[in-house]
Structure 1
Amino acid sequence: MPDIAAVRKRALDAIDRRRDALIALSLAIHAKPELAYEEREAALRLTEFLEGDGFKVKRGYCGLETAYRGDAKGKGDGPRVAILTEYDALADLGHGCGHNLIAMIGTA
């Protein structure tokens, strides 16, 4: 079983190193709100970010044009994690529900 404190520290350090890029990602999604199933720019930005981090990305996941799945291969047989995010906006409100932040946090 991994040392949870060490895993947590590694995760937080990785997030801190990418802080500026993550904030820029969130702001870019916020600047161009897209309604559900139309969030092409957000999906492109998120998938490119993940690919830049070494994830293997499958676009158009489950038959949805703007859905994707990103997989990263771990070093062992340890625990697996699934992270789901939202990145759509609301009509007339944009990202009033903070989905740009949810997307950034899930991508971190």
Structure 2
Amino acid sequence: MKDSLISLPAIKSPAKAVAKIQQIANEDTSLIIFLDHAAMRMQERGILEKQVLQVIRNGNPTNAKWGTENERGWKCRFTKITAGVRLSVVAKLAQREEGM
């Protein structure tokens, strides 16, 4: 596993999870993975990765919550107007094994 993986149990509050997601978007975008479904929707809607990152970095976070035992990790929706469009992005803070 990568040294840069986040120990999720150490993040105990929604506010800290939001801050960590935004920190990653600001400092190390190599840790951000766009799922196939999201990439497909972005392409359909003409949304660029840089717009998504702007929404995560500067958007209004809502509904931050811990997932279920099957879907472990913090999940949050960020909303912001970017390039004249109101855009909502769901980001999940999850630990992944290398190669996933």
Q: TM-score range by the shorter chain?
A: 0.3 to 0.5
More helix by share: 1
More strand by share: 2
Give the greater-gyration-radius structure (CA).
Answer: 1
TM-score normalised by length of structure 1 = 0.31
